[in-house]
Chain A
């Protein structure tokens, strides 16, 4: 987006180098507006596409930075559509934003801050606006899911770089059925490269009229997940824990998880605060931190090498953080 003939001047970004303001910019002799109405439309669309997914847009420079990281882990978030994967991530960021720590680790930076902020925007009270859940995660082209990044540091100065996947839920369902399906590329990629996993169990569905189907889907997903797991840690997140599921259902699922031959701790999480629990009303929200604390500890000293991630626009220095 460039309205000036001079190489280093981008009037609507850095301001006109010759000091002309928006109202008078046409007087600048180097000013050259972009092609009429078409450019205007494109610009509008770009703003409208202000979507949170950092995913495919992790740039090469960022990857170089991450490759230099001494400790990189990737957490695959596995769950069907509408199960609360994105909300779980949003909650994590909202907690960090208020100064909460993940176990002993605190926030030290992020290559995808605008993406985190965009997610949090949905769950922030705005004047005259209601809180909404984040929109459905759109499908990204190819195998690479949306990736959110955090740099964390503990009290003794140890730094961990964390990538968290955020992929379209529909694809997981297909992956559970047929891992070779074209639409299952992204889940397969997550499964292949992640250091640890959080499997998402949707309490709303597991308590509802379709709970039989929901239970079987969860089991299918779990069976696929533990295939070629190679001792990688798995945790279970009961999302929407403000909705109570019947003990028989819970037991049934936990029983099934034992087939995986790895110990799978489970965490009750929800965006809602709990008013009943002894541990205080923040219980469900704070359990999100416990979940990630478990994943962090379970992957300590097991750094991964980042798989090759093609960059979409390699010339852009700040690709990962571009919002427009």
Chain B
């Protein structure tokens, strides 16, 4: 009688897989709950520039915290395992942060808590590795399918039940509960569930092989080796340009819908719910059908040009065709799904295209370099869009008002710039 789930087995019972997927989804529910961070920040911070800057710290900590934690978790062993200490510490701190977050009475404690949140979320990035060490390769395919099904279910629950609750206040006979507390404490409860699950029922077994050797030379050496290889520069340029083209509004996106267009957070949830259903039942099967019948380079070109055309069309439609410059939820879903569909064309074609230009013996270095370029570019574009919206609004709007939709101009600009770099890339590799 031992119900403990262990790592390092060649085959495991399917009930383990099911339980681990429930565990994984509980963690993702926390991530969805953290989607309300924009609204928590908005309570104390007006400037979209600062809101996006705080959010973009996520990318910094991805580089500074997640990468070292993952690196060291490969090379240590404790009596509690090598991934578990990171995960458990991370989840406990995150739960405390989420409990305190809705009680923060000012901008400073709130930002401290959000920074702690971002740091410790990355400390817990060894969670996925732990899952992969428990689920053997032969069972990962079906596990991913179970996970995908559960993910869709929790997206629906988050969109319809949770995301719209932020502003609610329920005066129960025992206590008063604010929606913000409900959302974050729900997230904390999910984390506590994960901690109990991991501590009582998951055990890491020591791997049989030796840990991989240290890279040596520290950060500097690693950084230099990434960029020393000149043959990889065009690939970095390719990724840089595609990330430019994927620039989004970031944390200010929900503010466009709620503050500028006057929709409620529940409307936002409806948008995600209906969009998700269309995506699941129409867009993804359609893409799958077309993807097998089309040349990858052609798909990539359609994706790149299509997204740019879609953004321009959406901007023109809202700004110049809609009489009150305010799209309905249906408009948002139609444009959102169209752009998502077109975007998936380039997404599907992108990965193989990149690796076509990387020599086999440099794939590891290239992967590290690609991650670095992606992170830095995202950091720049996220902060750039916050700056743009702030200054555009200062120029053209009365004091205290923000035109979040002007961010689309920045997005279109970045898309054009990305297209320019892509054209240059195409000429270089021809």
A and B part of one assembly? no
